Amino acid sequence: MRFTSQTTSNGVSERLFNLDDIPGVLWSPADAAGSRPLVLLGHGGGQHKQAAGLVARAHRYVTACGFAVAAIDVPGHGGRPRTEQDERFTAGIGERLAAGEPLGPHIARHNAALAARAIPEWQATLDALQKLDCVGAGGPVGFWGVSLGSAIGVPFTAAESRITAAVFGLAGHETLAEAAARITVPVEFLLQWDDEMVPRDSGLALFGAFASPEKTLHANPGRHAGVPAFELESSERFFTRHLLEGGASAEFAG
């Protein structure tokens, strides 16, 4: 892991790195000393590791919770070369739009192929991050990612026992239910009630598929990209509960 730049703003240190050919970014408190929980952010399709929403989220998790936060570019995204497969995917979007065909299955197939490439990259990144003083080995690790972030994050979390809590959403069960059924850590799952990309029943079925004893579905009106801002705070409370406070969750009668 080779750091290539460091800047600091509003108490948040932002360091760009390369791990082999994977470009990444690590946010941490500017005065970070000693180990701390780590949250990995998976960006959406067509986005990259420093998309505005990810940067705002990272700053919030660092300043409000003291976490370290990291993101990497998914293959074919951000600064990474696009393969023939990526180009065929993009061309296929236009063809299906022109033919009036649904995009969902086409995107899900491509995302599954991206996940196969991205999972070992996330694992190598996690190995390297846990060797840093400001993260440390053996601490709690969260994953946040919706849409493409879940298409990669769900099988990644199923395969990676170091992840102890995850926020997913905006994804359906077709290609992900099998991996979801192997996940037992706490999950917060976002669903857009009027999602034009993911049919409501498919999202509900994916929520149903997680084996996690603690899982919570947050559904809101609106389209795929319209997740309300208050869900950022909700995810912060979720990660605080599970990465800092040990996840106590007694029941009470309604």
List residues binding a copy of itself (CB under 8 A).
44, 51-53, 56, 146-147, 149, 169-170, 190-191, 193, 204, 207-208, 213-222, 224-230, 232-234, 237, 241, 248-254
Q: In this complex, which beta carbon is closest to a copy of itself, that of residue 16 or of residue 219?
A: 219
- Which residue's CB is nearer to a copy of itself, number 130 or number 240? 240
The DSSP annotation for 33-101 comes to: -S---EEEEEPPTT--TT-HHHHHHHHHHHHHH--EEEEEPPTTSTTSPPPHHHHHHHHHHHHHHHHT-
Q: How far apart are CA 128 and CA 145, in angstroms?
A: 20
For the CB of residue 246, give the shortest distance to a copy of itself in the complex, in Å.
Answer: 13
Number of neighbouring beta carbons within 10 Å of residue 234: 15
151/145 Cα distance (integer angstroms): 8
Instruction: Answer for the pair 207, 191: CB distance below 8 angstroms, yes or no.
Output: yes
Residue 41: both structure tokens together: 């952010």
Cβ of residue 61: shortest distance to a copy of itself, in angstroms? 15
Cβ 145 to a copy of itself shortest distance, Å: 9
Closer of 127 and 233 to a copy of itself (Cβ): 233
Nearer to a copy of itself, 51 or 244 (CB): 51
Provide, rounded to whole angstroms, the least separation between the CB of residue 5 and a copy of itself: 25
